[in-house]
Amino acid sequence: METIAYAQIQELVMRLPARKLPLAYSLLIELVEKESDELSPQVQFMLLPLAERQRIMARQAKKMVTHYEESAVERQVWQAGDFLYAD
């Protein structure tokens, strides 16, 4: 994304009809009040210390092992069926 200067924003605001100014003002206020440095969950995770990331991933892996072991019987039932061929 290209860099936008304050002057460009001011120029756009000056071109707005007066009836649209409250809407533009509300939008700008909302943007200013929002935390501008919100990080995505993925970035937050990558910023954790390595040991903490490893602990979290190990815990998630254990949950998945349990999940796949619990559903193994069900999976065998639907995977062991006969194939139907349509002509």
- Model confidence pLDDT, tens digit, residues 22-32: 999 999 888 88
Tell me which amino acid residue 72 is.
A
Task: Give pTM, 2 decimals.
Answer: 0.41
Mapped onto helix, strand or coil, the DSSP state of residue 4 is: coil
CB burial of 51-66 (b: ≥16 within 10 Å; e: otherwise) equals eeeeeeeeeeeeeeee
Q: How far apart are the first and last CA of the chain?
A: 54
To the nearest 10°, the Cα dihedral for 65, 69, 70, 73? 150
Residues of the chain short of pLDDT 70, as ranges, are 1, 35-37, 81-84, 87
